[in-house]
Structure 1
């Protein structure tokens, strides 16, 4: 079956946070939003049909996660990532970020520290600080081309109150797909220090050729018992608005503690349409996903070529996974504020500003390339013209 990713869908005035916030934040309504991790493609036909069928039922009472739901998740993880999980390991959350908050509340106390690897997805900082916990950083190492984990630096981190670590796997925003060796060493560190390892794997299905996603908990049984894995079809199938995530916790005691907090905060209920969409995506959406990955790979190569040929002052960090691309703009010699203003006012693009991602984000911008090629072409043209005008 052929899938169309080239047609531009007008998302303005549809209640889209990505597009309709432009009117509220910018005088120039021609600004193209390429900030949030939200694709400008319709989801898989199988998902749309499942939602139509569910809507036609006409009754939307309290839903139940069925055997077919659990099977869809287990089969997906086995097929796509070679990871065999058990039904009883699975629990839920309205979203992955909500799950991160639940983990912080459950496994740490006020004043405890939570470990992160900046530059990293900015909600990590929010869920830690708003809970009265402290951020402990193990910054990624960067050689100017590629990021790696500073695994030796982990051993130098001081403080006995590190109770939790939040890992981005694959990494947002730098696009690394972590290797088995990196994950093993990190997992063994958490086991040794008795640190609960929360692995945000929401981008795990969006991996480019030559790379392979490895679920953190699949490394070893010992690491699995220390790990909480957060997945969802939200990024893969563009379903963030349906609020349905799967939280995988092999350790029974850890799972029980998480579920207690989930219930205490009245977050254990599922979304009828979210369940239907998730099951349809994982059961029948694979062909669509394979077509999407081809298109995203082409967008990535298009982006890499354009910057190399026409905007060499901005360096693209070669992403290995996710549809988010990390732009090194330090050669423009602008302050963070100047750079953000430059993209918004001169290039008329709304990107995510590097400093939002913490230490190491200065001089960088994150751009979302999950859009029709024509939209990407227009965006890159705007950057080219703006840089040429400096």
Structure 2
């Protein structure tokens, strides 16, 4: 491999939430192996690092704007990687996807209106409720080790009135890459009930063999006209601290309303280093990404094999995409506090409790496996010893 993903990089004392935040969130920062925060322990592509060095050496960091070259890099990436033909004029700005989701909820819905989400899922309910809207859960169903959508329940919820549905595609934390057929069925229900679809596609580039990501808005003009899509290179290339994401809105009326809100909130100016990183990543990072996907997929297979052979009480939900493994620990029969004690105090591995993704995640843990294999193996051995 051209890129060394086995290389250990010391991230301590870099204001890393994942590493330097351990003591604040888990109370035991020096001994824990951090596998909780959704970022990677790999260096970003060398081409991106070089572009950042070049920009830093210029020495002047004034206001910046999104150039045509920057917008074309986004366009070209989405076309090349996901077969989605996006127009330059559709691309709006946000510092990150979470900020975009909060702004979209605030802009396109009214206080008290119902917004549908699909748990167990990242903090969508918190984002919805923080804006004074009603978070309506359409829970995913776990059948034979694989999550699916409950379309009967979805139609029942939409029929009661829902201003918006927030779709996690691919899904965090369960790792589903939704099929085109699933997205068509969801989209037809949302069209029928006039529900705006907001698709969080931040993990869309992290897709494994035998799966492909379909952007919701790429399916039809009708879906594009009634949807907003959030994308970013941040998860793909480990650029989360540089705050450069994009909001794709084909509907001109919706986009004008969004852009007005961006200006009102004072977040229309992009991060100077973020723009350099985004353009370099999308133009020069594809080979690095392809090798990364092979490495992380082998990590996932390693986890599944290890659990099956040595910790059969814990079952991995095999992901189609993302760099998470969703661990079903329910056979251990432990409470939340006991799970924390097992993983944090006995195994000394910091994971995310599944209950933080909704009640449907009770008894599960989320493990981030975008790390050197040696770290992953050490963590699994420690979990094995703790379980035994």
Q: Please, what TM-score do these two structures have when normalized by structure 1? A: 0.97
* 2:159 and 2:193 in contact (8 A); partners too: no
Deviations 1:261-318 (A, max 9, x none): 1111111110000000000000000011011011111111111110110011000001
Q: Note if contact 1:139-1:359 (Cα within 8 Å) is conserved in structure 2.
A: no
Quick check: 1:353 aligned with 2:353?
yes
Pair 1:27-2:28 in alignment? yes
Aligned to 1:246: 246
Query: Runs of 5+ in structure 2 lacking a partner?
Result: none
Task: Give me the whole-angstrom Cα distance separating, in 1, the residues matched to 2:324 and 2:49.
Answer: 25
In the other structure, the counterpart of 2:323 is: 323
Check whether the contact 2:20–2:29 (CA below 8 A) recurs between aligned residues. Answer: no
CA contact (8 A) 2:112 2:133 kept: yes
Instruction: Tell me, in whole angstroms, the C-alpha distance in 1 between the residues paired with 2:83 and 2:183.
Output: 16
Map 1:216-365 → 2, pairs under 5 A: 216-365=216-365
Shift of 1:23: 2.8
Aligned equivalent of 2:213: 213
Give the Å deviation of 1:336. 2.2
Partner of 1:383: helix, strand, or coil? helix
2:104 paired with 1:90: no
Q: In 2, Cα distance between the equivalents of 1:183 and 1:309?
A: 36
Offset at 1:61?
Answer: 1.0
Is the 2:19–2:29 Cα contact (8 Å) retained in structure 1? no
Question: Would you say the 8 A contact 1:347–1:386 is kept in 2?
Answer: yes
Number of aligned pairs? 387
Secondary structure, counterpart of 1:2 in structure 2: coil
Q: What's the secondary structure of 1:360's corresponding residue?
A: helix
Aligned counterparts of 1:158 and 1:375: Cα–Cα separation in 2: 44
Q: Give the Cα–Cα distance (whole angstroms) in 1 for the partners of residues 208 and 51 of structure 2.
A: 28
Counterpart contact for 2:9–2:42, Cα < 8 Å: yes
| More displaced 10-residue stretch of structure 1: 268-277 or 331-340 | 331-340
Deviation track 1:166-214 (CA, whole Å, cap 9, x = no partner) reads 1000000000000001001111111111111110000000001110011
Contact 1:198 1:227 in 2 (8 A): yes
Q: TM-score, normalised by structure 2?
A: 0.98
For the residues of structure 1 that align with 2:237 and 2:29, how far apart are their CA atoms? 30
Residue 313 of structure 1 contacts residue 332 of structure 1 at CA under 8 Å; is this kept in 2? yes
Matches within 5 A, 1:1-390: 2-24=2-24, 25-27=26-28, 29-122=30-123, 124-157=124-157, 160-388=160-388
State the Cα RMSD in Å: 1.1
Shift in CA distance, 271/143, structure 1 to aligned 2, threshold 3 Å: same
In 2, Cα distance between the equivalents of 1:245 and 1:154?
29
SS across alignment from 1:156: helix
Within 2, Cα distance between the matches of 1:209 and 1:27? Answer: 37
Between the aligned partners of 2:165 and 2:268, the Cα distance in structure 1 is 23
The separation in 2 between residues aligned to 1:246 and 1:285, in whole angstroms, is 18
Report deviation, 1:160.
4.2
* C-alpha distance in 2 between matches for 1:323 and 1:229: 21
User: Deviation per CA, 1:2-35, whole angstroms, max 9, x where unpaired?
Assistant: 1000011111111101100113342362111111
Compute the displacement of 1:156 (Å): 1.7
Task: State the secondary structure of the residue aligned to 2:334.
Answer: coil
Q: 1:158 to 1:237 in 2, by over 3 A?
A: closer
Question: Runs ≥4 in structure 1, deviation > 2 angstroms?
Answer: 158-161
Answer with 305-314 or 53-62: which moved more.
53-62
The Cα offsets for residues 344-377 of structure 1, whole Å up to 9 and x where unpaired, read as 1111111011011013100000000000000001
**Quick one: distance in 2 between partners of 1:267 and 1:144?**
44
